Amino acid sequence: MLEPVVNNMLHNYPLKSAVWYPHLDFVSSLWLFRVSAIFVHFFPAILLDLLLRVTGGRPILFRLHKNVWNSLNRLETFIFTEWRFYNENTRELAEKLNKT
């Protein structure tokens, strides 16, 4: 439900500095996420950095993706855990306040 909406927005309002259109894909497991990150982010970053190095540019993409990878590893518990908060007391309080 959220995936097509976000992808539509990403294509309608692309980033000015993007090399290609970003695309959101939800994956069902952490393992699949890591494998897809290697193929979708790291391999292209290595190839583009190699191309930049050959043409005299400064390679930056691999380092950038490595920093993102490290940040995601630190946050993976919060990103990949489905959190459920029970707020019955808050709902009851809101109902009591609405009655008054």
pLDDT in tens, 54-84: 999 999 999 999 999 999 899 988 887 888 9
Nearest one of 83, 48, 81 to 64, comparing CA atoms? 48
Q: Do residues 22 and 10 lie in contact, with contact meaning Cβ atoms separated by under 8 Å?
A: yes
Domain count, the chain: 1
DSSP 8-state assignment for residue 38: I
Angle at 58 between CA 56 and CA 60, to 5 degrees: 145
Domain of residue 31 covers: 2-99
pTM more than 0.85: no
> Predicted confidence band at 21 (pLDDT cuts at 50, 70, 90)?
confident
* Distance, CA of 96 to CA of 91 (rounded, Å): 9
> Predicted confidence band at 25 (pLDDT cuts at 50, 70, 90)?
confident
Would you state the pLDDT for residue 83? 86
Q: Do residues 21 and 15 lie in contact, with contact meaning Cβ atoms separated by under 8 Å?
A: no
